[in-house]
Amino acid sequence: MRDFALAPELEELRAAAERLGRAELAPNVRDAEAAGRWPDGVLDVLDGFPLGGLDVPESLGGVDAGLLAKVVILETLAQFDPSGLPGADRPGATTGALIACPDQALAAEVAASCLDGSAQSAFTVIDPDNGSTGIDWAPAWPALRWIWAMENDTLRLLEVTGTVEPVIALAFQASGSVRVGFDQTTERGRWELSPRVALEVRGRARLWGAAICVGIAQAALEETIEYTMDRVVFGKPVAHHQGNAFDIAYVAARVHAARLVVRDAAASFDRGERDAGFWATQAWLEVREAAFHATNVGIQLLGGHGFIVDHLAEKRFREARHLAMAVGGLDAAEFDVAAEVLDVPDALLASLEQR
Amino acid sequence: MIELDAKTLAMMEEIRSLGRTHIRPMGLEADRTATPPPVDHEFYLICTRQGGLVSKMIGADEGPTALDWKPVRNFLIGEECAYWDRGVALSLPGPGLGGPALRNTGTPEQRQRFLSIFEDHSKARWGAMAMTEPEAGSDVARIKTRARKDGDEWVLNGQKMFCSNSARADWVVVWATIDPALGRGGHRAFVVERGTPGFEIIKVEHKMGSRGYETASFVLEDCRIPGDNLLGGEAFYEAKKGFKASMATFNMTRPLHTAHGVGMGRAAHDFALDFVRNEYPAQGRRRQRALERLARIRRGLHTARLMYLNAVWLAKNGQSNAMEASYAKMYSPPVILEAVAAALDILGEAGVRNDKMLEKLYRDVKILDIGEGTQQVQRHVVARQMLKFPMD
């Protein structure tokens, strides 16, 4: 039967991430944004975790602790500051592509450069109807070298050989922001994946963003509670006006649900289940709604304070939306689940006879 | 994938088989006639016979009075029963909503006395629980049914309504107050047995949906019950556990509501899925819209299922689950109503026809957002714990 408890070693790791986040990330959020990167000391600790290699197989140089471990650590760190995570976590959202890449020698080369901190990698989904001329956002550090581009079920590995262009982006300033045209890259490989494996690649990438969104939503909820319990309007705390209290309660339920679906989908990958990519995409769809809701309420109930940079509500509002655009955004995800929905059995009752 | 053990799988198979042959046809018949199945319906006897459904659901391995029951399994079975018809599922013989109250609060002697009757497989038997009153629905702290000690007996006076299966129950767990001025601290739970003078059913409600089970009102007029029918005994309440006990009951029944909702949502999903497979064009915009709707339904149901399993898992492991139970009960009913509505959208105008079943599900499912604490009550519960939201 399902066990919702984290294994003791993972709980230990989560607690360590929480300590790091509380001590090193939370006090320096705005400084890191201004600097465009997290402090070297923090990055050294994260490389030692190792954050990037947690869910990477040993054959590719990782520690193979599993995707559940990865999402738990991502959501924990993101609660304190997600802004530097895209830069710090390598290969991050591209781990699924590394695992699925039929040329494992090439994948190992890519993984090694990411894990040793010399290269950044990014993942993008190309709309088959409209095409794409490049990748519109990627972390600026370490230097972007690898782009995994997926069009339908075709996976391409592009190596950046030309110039990247700095851009100003909606969020994640502590990771920096660049765009690069595909004409500035050289194709290192192109593979036709099966639809199921292709969805796994996209699902893993989506789950990476979903885990960070859970942390952002949790942080938004906590700040909303703290502020609305303290701030008094019309003779009582903001939180004690029923309309506001009900909104906060609903946010809490949605954040709880979001955490459950992300961890469930991650565990589904770890168990090697056939439809893990489908459930990961479903989880991401759930989380992007929940995170938008939590961060929007997070601003709304702070009123004008939510709109100014003295609080982090506005930052979380931007971050949740920024991540929601990843991996082809809403349309690609809805296409993916719609394409599979007739063939994916009930997660619980698959082994029972067909009705 | 959630792993089910062999015994649970076997039971699910049994429910599925009974669902096809009995539960759904009975539900459709009850809906058309607006009358729940009679107490002597052959299916209820099937459920109670040796090795049958009821003894398994209440944990035959452990004995029906054991505390070491199998909540996760029972909730999954509840989901599957509701897939076929929630109304009939709620009408199944057994301790019903009185079961959690007895298990959580009852003394070993009381559990033996009131739960062991279900070991008699010669006839169908029911238990029930009564909390709601004409002037105390969501705010259960305001119940007015009075309990007065008179010698070795308790005397109950008041009225209860919206009480499932009470008209056919062998006993009803009745919540009353020894003194309204004590608020929640005055709450007590009593077991009132059928036939007790002063206990009278006054009305069986006519409902929009969920017609497979009786929803009844009853009065208690100088209803005298033995002193040892006070659930948990005097010592239990001296420790000021009365209201907490009723809330602990809700912490199990709220996730069960969610489990039922998942089952009903699955039924709507499967109906719409078959419609898309058999009636829709093989490609095109309309089909794409339907598939996206189906995927959204699946997402909501999967999330709701994880939420109720999480709440039950916490309870099973002895951890507090009040928040998680309310999260599940708050999140799920709107999602499930939306799922049934989306399934109707997939069928289009054909969906309104009674023979398509979806219109019935649409009527049936709304009660999920009302029973066992409305959507608004769940938000109150969470707000009280999370925000110290004041109680007036």
ipTM for the predicted complex: 0.91
Mutate to test the interface with A, among B254, B278, B389 (most CBs of A within 10 A): B389
pLDDT for B2 equals 57
Residue by residue, DSSP assigns A281-316 as HHHHHHHHHHHHHHHHHHHHTTTHHHHSTTSSHHHH
Mean pLDDT in residue range B253-274: 94
Q: CB neighbours (10 Å) of residue A270?
A: 17
Query: What are the backbone dihedrals phi and psi of residue B210, each rounded to the nearest 5 degrees, phi first?
Result: 45, 50
DSSP state of B71: H
Among candidates B302, B309, B381 on the partner chain, residue whose Cβ is nearest the Cβ of A2: B309
pLDDT for B330 equals 95
Least confident of A12-21, A26-35, B101-110: B101-110
Contact across the interface for A252 and B382, Cβ inside 8 Å: yes
Beta bridge partners of B156: B147, B223
Determine the distance in angstroms separating the CA of B80 from the nearest CA of chain A, rounded to an integer. Answer: 10
Determine the distance in angstroms separating the CA of B292 from the nearest CA of chain A, rounded to an integer. Answer: 5
**CB < 8 Å from B in window 183-242 of A:** 225, 228-229, 236-237, 239-240, 242
On whether any CB of chain A is under 8 Å from the CB of B201, the answer is no
| CA A44, A50, A56, A61 torsion-angle sign | positive
Mutate to test the interface with A, among B306, B307, B310 (most CBs of A within 10 A): B306
How far apart (Å, rounded) are the C-alpha atoms in residues B48 and B91?
13
How far apart (Å, rounded) are the C-alpha atoms in residues A342 and A344?
6
Which residues on chain A are in Cβ contact (under 8 Å) with B376?
246
Which residues on chain A are in Cβ contact (under 8 Å) with B392?
none
pLDDT for B235 equals 82
Question: Is the confidence at residue B297, as pLDDT, over 90?
Answer: yes
Mean pLDDT in residue range A172-180: 97
Q: CB neighbours (10 Å) of residue B144?
A: 14
Mean pLDDT in residue range A242-253: 97
Identify the H or E element spanning A226: helix A195-230
| CA A296, A297, A300, A305 torsion-angle sign | negative
Helices (H), B23-181: 24-33, 42-48, 53-57, 71-91, 98-105, 108-115
How far apart (Å, rounded) are the C-alpha atoms in residues A298 and A315?
10
pLDDT for B252 equals 79
**pLDDT range class, residue A113, cuts 50, 70, 90:** very high
B200 is known as an active-site residue: no
How far apart (Å, rounded) are the C-alpha atoms in residues B109 and B373?
30
B63 vs B121, residue with greater confidence: B121
From the list B81, B59, B83, B84, the residue with the least C-alpha distance to B69 is: B59
Instruction: Report how far apart the first and last C-alpha atoms of chain B are (Å, whole number).
Output: 45
B235 vs A275, residue with greater confidence: A275
How far apart (Å, rounded) are the C-alpha atoms in residues B300 and B270?
14
Instruction: Tell the residue number behind the tokens 């009123």, with chain if given.
Output: A303
pLDDT for B246 equals 61
Q: Which amino acid is at B241?
A: K
Which residues on chain A are in Cβ contact (under 8 Å) with B82?
none
Q: CB neighbours (10 Å) of residue A27?
A: 12
Q: Which amino acid is at B8?
A: T
Would you call A26 exposed, middle or buried from its count of C-beta atoms within 10 A (0-12, 13-18, 19+)? middle
pTM for this prediction: 0.91
Q: Are B72 and B313 in contact (CB under 8 A)?
A: yes
Would you give the distance in Å from CA B341 to the centre of its chain?
A: 22
Contact across the interface for B307 and A256, Cβ inside 8 Å: yes
pLDDT for A2 equals 59
Label the pairing between strands B127-130 and B171-177: parallel
**pLDDT range class, residue B8, cuts 50, 70, 90:** confident
**pLDDT range class, residue B53, cuts 50, 70, 90:** low
pLDDT for B237 equals 79
Label the pairing between strands A120-126 and A144-151: parallel
Give chain A's radius of gyration (CA, Å).
20
On whether any CB of chain B is under 8 Å from the CB of A129, the answer is no
Which tokens hold the place of A337? Answer: 């689940």
Q: Are B64 and B115 in contact (CB under 8 A)?
A: yes
pLDDT for B295 equals 97
Mutate to test the interface with B, among A218, A223, A229, A256 (most CBs of B within 10 A): A256
Mean pLDDT in residue range A183-211: 98
pLDDT for B392 equals 65
On whether any CB of chain B is under 8 Å from the CB of A1, the answer is yes
Give chain B's radius of gyration (CA, Å).
21
Segment B169-216, tens digit of pLDDT: 999 999 999 998 888 788 899 999 999 999 999 999 999 999 999 999
Among candidates B295, B376, B390 on the partner chain, residue whose Cβ is nearest the Cβ of A240: B390
Q: Please list, in sequence order, all residues whose beta carbon lies within 8 angstroms of the beta carbon of residue B338, skipping any fewer than 6 positions away.
A: B300
Q: Are A203 and A96 in contact (CB under 8 A)?
A: yes
pLDDT for B376 equals 92
Contact across the interface for B382 and A225, Cβ inside 8 Å: no
The chain B residue lying nearest A256, using CA atoms, is B327
**pLDDT range class, residue A124, cuts 50, 70, 90:** very high
- Domains, chain A: 196-340 (1.20.140.10)
Q: Of the listed B79, B133, B324, B372, which one is catalytic?
A: B372
pLDDT for B262 equals 97
Helix A40-48 vs helix A8-20: crossing angle, to nearest 10: 170
How far apart (Å, rounded) are the C-alpha atoms in residues A273 and A294?
31
pLDDT for B70 equals 66
From the list A110, A99, A73, A101, the residue with the least C-alpha distance to A88 is: A73
From the list A337, A330, A77, A112, the residue with the least C-alpha distance to A211 is: A77
Q: Please list, in sequence order, all residues whose beta carbon lies within 8 angstroms of the beta carbon of residue A160, skipping any fewer than 6 positions away.
A: A143, A144, A145, A146, A147, A180, A184, A185
SS3 B381: helix
Contact across the interface for B16 and A248, Cβ inside 8 Å: no
Among candidates B9, B270, B380 on the partner chain, residue whose Cβ is nearest the Cβ of A352: B9
Q: Are A88 and A38 in contact (CB under 8 A)?
A: yes
On whether any CB of chain A is under 8 Å from the CB of B138, the answer is no
- Domains, chain B: 6-119 (1.10.540.10), 127-238 (2.40.110.10), 242-387 (1.20.140.10)
Mutate to test the interface with B, among A246, A261, A334, A342 (most CBs of B within 10 A): A246
Question: Is the confidence at residue B21, as pLDDT, over 50?
Answer: yes
Contact across the interface for A225 and B331, Cβ inside 8 Å: no
How far apart (Å, rounded) are the C-alpha atoms in residues A295 and A315?
9
pLDDT for A1 equals 42
Q: CB neighbours (10 Å) of residue A210?
A: 32
Which residues on chain B are in Cβ contact (under 8 Å) with A253?
326-327, 330-331, 378, 382
Counting Cα atoms < 13 Å in the Cβ hemisphere of A296 gives 10
Which residues on chain B are in Cβ contact (under 8 Å) with A239?
383, 387, 389
Q: Please list, in sequence order, all residues whose beta carbon lies within 8 angstroms of the beta carbon of residue A278, skipping any fewer than 6 positions away.
A: A199, A203, A336, A337, A340, A341, A344
How far apart (Å, rounded) are the C-alpha atoms in residues A153 and B155?
73
**pLDDT range class, residue A336, cuts 50, 70, 90:** very high
Over chain B, what is the mean pLDDT? 88
**pLDDT range class, residue B244, cuts 50, 70, 90:** low
pLDDT for A19 equals 97
Determine the distance in angstroms separating the CA of B349 from the nearest CA of chain A, rounded to an integer. Answer: 23
Question: Is the confidence at residue B51, as pLDDT, over 60?
Answer: no
Which residues in B274-303 are b (16+ Cβ under 10 Å) and which e? ebbeeeeeeeeeeeeebbbbbbbbbbbbbb
Mean pLDDT in residue range B369-388: 91
Question: Is the confidence at residue B63, as pLDDT, over 60?
Answer: no
